[in-house]
Amino acid sequence: MTVKILAVDMDGTFLNSKKQYNKARFLKQYEQLKQNNIHFVVASGNQLAKLITYFPEINHEIAVIAENGAHVVDAGQEIAFAHLSQQQYIEILKAIDSSYISTMVICGKQSAYVHSSMNAEDYAKVARYFEKLTVVDDFYALDDLVCKITFTAQENESFAIFEHFQKQSFVADKVLVPVSSGFNFIDLILPDQHKAHGLNLLLQKWQVEPNQVVAIGDNNNDMQMIKAVGYGFAVENAVEALKAVAPYTTVSNEQEGALEVIDLVLQHQPPFA
């Protein structure tokens, strides 16, 4: 089966621990992907503004699935942006315990927002992932469309925070659902607005079948995407839950695992022979 789409997660998959990738190697691969009419897709929990900074040479022509699937753009053209209604947003803010305010990131279309009570350590961590980040005194006063709410946690707190939000009424009512996106971030995302949903919108646009798609990831928020495609890869450093469902594995992000898969595709090596 001919591969038509190659989709990659970024943090922990395409990027190494320094938030970098082998640009010289990849840009050569990218030219070959184009020559073979294979679409390159970035699929990440990060905001669009951050993701396009990684690809200054080609960001005007690639597709990006941002915010864990809520924001989908192809060659600079917006395909979809899913968001909470203003009423839903206000009700969720009221439901979230005030003790979480200082660790929250409200993800909007124009910017991400943190509260002025966030400490310097958490702000520095968050700022690594958000190109557009605004400090506000009042989350209720935001004039933006909100697609996701993220919480930063200490390493030993992530599971407890995830469990806490599993019990919230807005989760039971399926307004938002919690997902671990790695690096001690817990995301509250719109139900069914995951990476696989965003990818499916692109499949429909390009008239591609799921079995013609390669997807590579490392964490729980890649689960639906990996399961939905013909060639789902987990990098060696992936969480065990993802490895358990991924039909294929590659070496770690530090060893350029995603680029190794691209080489297999381009060279028609197994499983693409």
Which of these is catalytic: 9, 11, 218, 222? 9
Q: Are strands 248-250 and 231-235 parallel, antiparallel or unpaired?
A: parallel
d(CA 127, CA 79) in angstroms, rounded, equals 26
Please confirm, yes or no, whether 218 is among the known catalytic residues: no
Phi, psi of 8 (to 5 degrees): -130, 135
d(CA 75, CA 181) in angstroms, rounded, equals 25
The 39-43 sheet, strands edge to edge:
77-81, 71-74, 63-66, 39-43, 5-8, 213-217, 231-235, 248-250
Query: From residue 159, how far is each of 93, 101, 128, 182, 236 by CA, in Å?
Result: 21, 18, 22, 11, 22
Query: From residue 6, how far is each of 9, 202, 245 by CA, in Å?
Result: 10, 12, 18
198 Cβ neighbours under 8 A, 6+ residues apart: 43, 65, 69, 70, 71, 72, 80
167 Cβ neighbours under 8 A, 6+ residues apart: none
d(CA 47, CA 67) in angstroms, rounded, equals 5
The token duo for 23 is 């640009």
Task: Tell me, rounded to whole angstroms, the distance of Cα 217 from its chain centroid.
Answer: 10
Residues acting as catalytic residues = 9
